Each structure stands twice: as C-alpha cells, then as structure tokens.
Amino acid sequence: MNRFFKKHLGVFVTVGPTVLWLGIFLLIPLAYVILMTVLTKNAYGGMDFIFTLENYRNLFANEYLKVFGDSIWLSLQTTVICLVVGYPFAYILANAPKRWKGFLVMLLMLPFWTNSLIRTYGWNTLLRTEGILNHFLQGVGLIDQPLEMLYTDGAVLLGMVYALLPFTVLPLYTSIEKLDKSLLEAGSDLGASRVHVFTRIIFPLTMPGIFAGSIQTFIPSLGFFFISDMMGGAKTMYIGNLIKNQFLSARNWPFGAALSIVLIVITLILMKLYTRVGSLEDMA
C-alpha cells in the first residue's frame, strides 16, 4: 500500500484535490438530486423514501409543458437577437486596429466585473414607471403618461439580451478574427460585391462561431431566473423560476429535482452538439 502510494504520489498531489472537490461538491449532490426525483414528497416539505415516477409524470402536465415552451421560446428569441446584435459588433471588434482590440474586448467584459443582480437592478431604475427613462421622455414632452416598460415580457427579453450578449460576441469574435483576410480579397477579386463577400464567404466560414455563440447563449438563458423575477414581475413562469419555486416556496423538492434533471439533460444534448461542431471545424 505504501509503495503504491509512493509510486503514484504525483497523481495524488496533482489530480487528487480536483477529484476530491468535484466528488464532494458535484458528484454527490448530483447523485442526491437524481435520487430525489424518484422519492415522494411528504406533507411537511420533506421527502419519504418511497419509490415513485410521479414526479416525472407530472412534468407532462399542460401547465408545465407551457412553462417549457415559454422558456424555450424566450431563449430562442434571446439567442436570435443576440446574434443579430452581436454579429456586427463582433465583426467590428475583430477588424478593429490591433492597438484598439484589447481595449474594446475589455470594454465588452467590463460589466462582468459587477454582480449581475446589481446590473439587472440598474435596468429597473431605468425602466420603472417613475424611472429615469420615463422622466426623460415626459420631460422632453414625447409622452404624457409614463410607459409601462418594466414587468413586461419585452423587459425580460431586454434583460436577457443584455446579460448574455458577451456570450454571443466572444465566440463570434474568435471565429471572425480567424478568418483569412486573403479569402475576402480573393472573393472581391473574383467579382463579388461586399454583400456577396459576406453571404458567400464570411457567413459560411463563421458558421462555427455562430453555432458556438448560439449555444453559449441559449444554455445559460434557459436557467436564468432572476431576470424574469426582477424585470418580468413573475408574470410569465420560466423553467428557472419554476425550479426555484419548487425548492423554496412550494417545498416540493422531488419535483424540483426532476425539473432540474430535465434542464441538465437539455444542456448536455446541446453541449454534445456543440463539441461535435467544434470537431467538425477542426477538420476543415
């Protein structure tokens, strides 16, 4: 035993702490969550060790299917808007003069140095009925009555796009920056207008970046609950809110666990797709 330990000392010292950390804080809790999904909730918010598939069956109730539908729809909208806004942004960033690039990327990352909760609260101050934007519009005389901007689906979408835009821009930026500039010259040389250089060369060649950006935006957007809580006034229920409520308010841990597992499975499938496209890109 002692000799075995000595022989593999390097492995224990380097990998050991990580394995220990992941084991204690990831694997065991995850196993616990999976176990929870097949237990029965009892009247006092706890769980009884009675095997059941009830929690999974409940997922297919209409109101929960609607939650899934709404969540996916919101995430899709967020992703598409992020792409449309982020692509030109990434393009300008990637083609900026070298001495500016670092600075511009830093500007993009800057908001991340502040807690996202606080940043979202910032939007509240802006959009409230008595908020800065309404005051301004009334002051200028554009509107008489304050606009209902906060606590709408639009506000949630805005918050999501705001929070996730960098996740879209960074993969796009990497992908556009990698683009061989002589390909664009070749396209132009062969008679392609600027629009055609984009549609026939730049766009298809940055497809991996578009895909990576989409997935990196879509996955976190499914789980975000505080934005819809703070900016949507919990009017529409999304997966994130539902899970949070099951654990904290409804005290139905087994069902909350089942919902979490669904979210994890969706994420894993998307991640698998993502790595698949990544390896395709390396081949080209």
Report residue 41: phi and psi, to 5°: -75, 140
- Total residues contacting other proteins by CB under 8 A comes to 19
With binding defined as CB under 8 A, does residue 278 bind other proteins?
no
> Judged by CB under 8 A, does residue 182 bind other proteins?
yes
Other Cβ atoms closer than 10 A to 160: 26
Decide if residue 189 touches other proteins (CB under 8 A): yes
Candidates 33, 133, 192, 270; binder of other proteins (CB under 8 A) is 192
Q: Which residues contact 280 (CB under 8 A, 6 or more apart)?
A: 208
Instruction: Pick between residue 101 and residue 128 the one whose CB is nearest to other proteins.
Output: 101
Nearer to other proteins, 87 or 167 (CB): 87
- For residues 222 and 238, what is the distance between their CA atoms, to the nearest angstrom? 8
- The reply to whether 191 sits near other proteins by the rule CB under 8 A is yes
**Could you say whether residue 97 binds other proteins (CB under 8 A)?**
no
- Helix (H) / strand (E) element for 47: namely strand 47-48
User: Rounded to whole angstroms, how far apart are CA atoms 144 and 90?
Assistant: 39
3-state secondary structure of 34: helix
Interaction between residue 202 and other proteins (CB under 8 A)? no
Interface with other proteins includes 212 (CB under 8 A)? no
Considering beta carbons, is residue 187 or 256 the nearer one to other proteins?
Answer: 187
Do 270 and 255 contact (CB within 8 A), yes or no? no
Among 11, 109, 183, 280, binds other proteins (CB under 8 A): 183
Residue 158 Cα distances to 77, 105, 151, 164, 168, angstroms: 10, 22, 11, 10, 15
User: According to CB under 8 A, which one of 8, 135, 200, 235 is a site residue for other proteins?
Assistant: 200
Does 280 engage in binding with other proteins (CB under 8 A)? no
190 lies in the binding site for other proteins (CB under 8 A): yes
Number of helices (H) and strands (E) in the chain: give both, helices first: 16, 2
Rounded CA-CA distance 177/163 in Å is 23
Interface with other proteins, residue 148, by CB under 8 A = no
Among 52, 116, 152, 188, binds other proteins (CB under 8 A): 188
* Residues at the contact surface with other proteins, assessed by CB under 8 A: 180, 182-183, 185-193, 196, 200-201, 204-205, 283-284
